[in-house]
Amino acid sequence: MTPASSVLLLTTLTGFGYGLLAWVGILAAFGLLPPAPLFLPVAVVVALAFANAGLTASMLHLGHPERAWRAFSQWRSSWLSREGVASLTTFPPALAFAALWWTLGPDAIATRALGLLAAALGLVTVVCTAMIYASLKPIRQWHNPHTTPDYLIFAVFSGAVLLAALWALWFGAAVALAVAALIAALIAACAKFAYWRYIDAQKPLVTLASATGLTAFGTVRPLDQPHFTENYILREMGYQIARKHAVKLRRIAVGLAFFVPAILALLAALGIAPAITTTAATLVALIGLFVERWLFFAEATHVATIYYGR
């Protein structure tokens, strides 16, 4: 599948945004955030800014962005519609959570409850995003049991590094969160390796013989193409660059997304320039997850291209 930058931005940025929201919401619900009156509202605004940037980017790839409001209507059947509904539903409780923290204080039951609600809705949005891909039967690299847990794990990881950076910038040190980010990075790396193992062992979904109904004749080979130039199907689904450089690109992706941030988080946990190391970890993780998401698309093969022998 051809990676469209708008969709890559959508999935990575909303992962950071809703991941951060989940962390602050849950930590606030359990009274684990420092009671600084401004810290939480700022964190919520940063989280919603990331999510909003991702959602806006996704509008850019639409043929008719002005009709985007129609996408809220088919939540009964469509995961894309559910993602739209869930992402917007998250905003009011998240803003109310920040406002109540500011007015009623961190310990009010309403503040804690709204924190938990905002966190849950944020994670539900991430699940909906993942399910858009996981539900597509023609793409075996997406339609498998790894896709949805992976999206959740990557969102929790990206939220952890982002919160560690905000915390370190605000309070000067963030040992516990740096450790959390380190653990999340290692879990995320393991999840990614497990995913690659899984897709590398998969067999193609169909053969050209079953795609053409010619199984009784044995093997089927393409002879003449229907057209000699690329068409929409081949441009959109016949992407072949990643398959050529798969090993190198995978190393770059896990290195940037998880291992470099893990080392930086370790330095922060040891108290070495936490503000700088956690900020750097966030930036590297952002770039790395963007590469990881690019690969998630670029490595995905679509059944329809089998008709073209690809």
Partner 1 sequence: MTSLPQPVPGAKKLGLVIDLDTCVGCHACAVNCKEWNTGGHHAPLPDHDPYGKNPDGVWFNRIHSYEAGCGSSSRTVNFPRSCLHCEQPQCVTVCPTGASYKRAEDGIVLVNTDICIGCKLCSWACPYGAREFDEDQGVMKKCTLCIDRIYNEALPEAEREPACVASCPSRARHFGDLGDPDSPVSKLVAERGGVALMPELGYAPVNRYLPPRKATIPAKPLERPAAGSGNALLRLIDKVLSR
The site for partner 1 (CB under 8 A) is made up of 1, 61-65, 67-68, 70-74, 76-81, 84, 132, 135-139, 205-206, 208-214, 216-227, 229-233, 236-237, 302-305, 307-308
Closer CB to partner 1, residue 81 or residue 278? 81
Most distant CA pair in the chain: distance in Å? 75
Closer CB to partner 1, residue 16 or residue 133? 133
Closer CB to partner 1, residue 97 or residue 297? 297
Nearest approach, Cβ of residue 297 and partner 1 (Å) = 11
Nearest approach, Cβ of residue 150 and partner 1 (Å) = 19
Tokens of 29: 């619900």
Nearest approach, Cβ of residue 126 and partner 1 (Å) = 17
Helix, coil or strand: residue 218: coil
Closer CB to partner 1, residue 235 or residue 251? 235
Nearest approach, Cβ of residue 144 and partner 1 (Å) = 14
Closer CB to partner 1, residue 109 or residue 223? 223
Tokens of 89: 């539903």
Nearest approach, Cβ of residue 66 and partner 1 (Å) = 9
Dist. CA 150–CA 102, nearest whole Å: 34
Cα 291 to chain centroid distance, Å, stands at: 11
Query: Residue 177: which residues within 8 A CB-CB, separation 6 or more?
Result: 160, 163, 164, 167, 168, 278
Tokens of 2: 């051809």
21 with 44: CB under 8 angstroms? Answer: yes
